[in-house]
Amino acid sequence: MDLLRTPDDRFEDLPDFALAPEYVTVGDEGVRVATYADGPEDAPAVLLLHGEPSWSFLYRHVVEALVAAGLRAVAIDLVGFGRSDKPARIADHSYARHVAWITQAVDALGLRDAVLVGQDWGGLIGLRLVAAEPERWAGVVAANTGLPTGDVDMPAVWWQFRKAVEKAEHLDVGRLVASGCARGLGKAERAAYDAPFPDESFKAGPRAMPLLVPTRPDDPENGPNTAAWEALGRYERPFLTAFGDSDPITGAMAPVLREHVPGAAGLDHPLIAQAGHFLQEDAGAELGRVVAAFVASLPAHG
């Protein structure tokens, strides 16, 4: 596996994001994964997992709100994104590999009794982690995400997105993120999403991820995701859905998750106004406050 590494100078002068990365190495391939942390080391921890085609920059305002509430915020750049190493071929990416890479990164960070926040692919991967080790997590916040098995077709707008990514000669990552925001995205912020990708050779991750979403029952991840879905049906620790009100891709998943996961019962599940697919951009501070209040409500787990 050929691994590309974005030069550090691409990440200079990021707006509102000054966190320095630390790195862990995962997989037999020796993939370097970027992690970020802020807040007291002995405080309750919140793991923030982003999706396609963003990186941990997406959570900057969420991090600010969590730290202001006295919590520890931890974020991980998915492999192929942000400051993490970038496998050079689309074929280097698989759903199972991404789950394994993030599982190993979480192990390396020593996270236990943390709250997992997953959006987009951060949920597709993160919910697999929760299903595999439910006792590791004090609670879960699902934000504009789901766990597709391929038994139900994806919405038309998602297929349009997938086709656009497949056909694009030049994949405009900043524009893709902007298109998923309800409140617009500034020029400097767009540049921050373009920063991890100096040229097209670095974009195998963003190009691969839409292809990895299970869309048919014979998908190789149908079995693992079906098993994970069944495990989530037994998950009794608190499980919150915090979705934006303007996301046509994942919006329908919020009631499905609330109905299916026992830990969702009896909670006040917010619907965040004027927030699109990338609700962290549209309403990051609000989402951060929602997560902080959720953490404060949790029972203690030894």
State the catalytic residues.
120, 247, 277
- In the chain, what is the greatest distance between 2 CA atoms, to the nearest angstrom? 51
Q: What is the separation of C-alpha 214 from the centre of its chain, rounded to a whole number of angstroms?
A: 17
Measured distance CA(240)–CA(140) in Å, rounded: 6
H or E element in which residue 212 lies = helix 204-212
Planar angle of CA 103, 199, 63, nearest 5 degrees: 45
> Which of 252, 234, 231, 235 is CA-nearest to residue 243?
252
H or E element in which residue 162 lies = helix 156-167
Q: Beta-carbon neighbour count of residue 154 at 10 Å? A: 18
Measured distance CA(49)–CA(204) in Å, rounded: 19
Q: Hunting for tokens 């524009």 — which residue is that?
A: 175
Write the CB contacts of 25 (distance below 8 Å, at least 6 apart in sequence): 31, 32, 33, 108
C-alpha R_g of the chain: 18
Instruction: Give the N- to C-terminal CA distance of the chain in Å, as an integer.
Output: 40
Measured distance CA(37)–CA(289) in Å, rounded: 18
Which pair of tokens denotes residue 29? 């391939």
